[in-house]
Amino acid sequence: MNSIVKITACILLCLTIGCVSSKSKATPEEITVLENMIANKHFEVRAKWAQPMASQSLNSIANAGLLPPGSTASQIDVSGTGGYFRMKGDSVMADLPFYGERRMGGYYNQNKTGIIFNGIPKELTFSSNNNGAEQTMRFSIKEKSEGYQVQAQLYANGTARLTISSTHRTTMWYQGNLSKHKKE
């Protein structure tokens, strides 16, 4: 009976330790790096994962085996596509792959089917969250006849999450790595 109590206590201890959040707080140095990137408006996000809005057509594509290996209809590996979002000074630019549905007509260029924009954003705002470990960037931008609403969650640990809503397409989410933009 005594060994059962010890085993139960050991299991409970292991579960308690395992359930504790492994997310560590950002260091002051990481927060400073993030704040400097925001202040200088000089950073980029390299997309690793695309998360399209779920739809029957996307499920059909996934079921047909047409997505990259390791991908599902709700999370697609885009690390090899070169997809990026950048901010350089007052300008933002993006070239991100798009997996979803076009909701409205518009011009179609078979060579540029992704989310592509380049220009000066409107209504640009930054807000700090989580004691500076997270910055939220919001803006709108128009490219040709399509408008985009963009929200970027930028984290001190070097990751980012983008949400891009379009006037012509379903909403897309991207996850990737955040870094200072290196000159080309």
CA angle, 180 then 22 then 5, to 5°: 170
**How does residue 110 score in pLDDT terms, banded at 50, 70 and 90?**
low
In a domain, 14, yes or no: no
pLDDT of residue 123: 95
The answer to whether the CB of 92 falls within 8 A of the CB of 106 is: no
**Residue 121: CATH number of its domain:** 2.40.128.410
The answer to whether the CB of 100 falls within 8 A of the CB of 52 is: yes
pLDDT of residue 19: 46
Give the CA count within 13 Å in the CB-facing half-sphere of 173.
11
Predicted structure pTM score = 0.80
The answer to whether the CB of 168 falls within 8 A of the CB of 146 is: yes
The answer to whether the CB of 46 falls within 8 A of the CB of 94 is: no
Looking at mean pLDDT, say which of 11-15, 73-77, 107-111 comes out highest.
73-77
In a domain, 40, yes or no: yes
| Domain containing residue 149 | 23-179
Question: Per the structure, how many domains does the chain have?
Answer: 1
In a domain, 28, yes or no: yes
In a domain, 4, yes or no: no
Does position 135 have pLDDT exceeding 80, yes or no? yes
In a domain, 15, yes or no: no
In a domain, 7, yes or no: no
Residue 57 φ then ψ, to 5°: -65, -40
pLDDT of residue 182: 74
In a domain, 145, yes or no: yes
Average confidence (pLDDT) over 111-139: 91
Give the CA count within 13 Å in the CB-facing half-sphere of 91.
8
**How does residue 184 score in pLDDT terms, banded at 50, 70 and 90?**
low
pLDDT of residue 21: 40
Residue 40 per-residue DSSP state: H
Express each pLDDT in 60-103 by its tens digit.
888 898 888 888 889 999 998 899 999 999 999 999 999 888 87
Q: Across 53-158, where does the E strand assignment appear?
A: 76-77, 84-88, 91-96, 115-119, 122-129, 134-143, 146-155
In a domain, 78, yes or no: yes
Average confidence (pLDDT) over 157-169: 94
Q: Which of 12-26, 41-55, 59-73, 123-137 has the lowest mean pLDDT?
A: 12-26
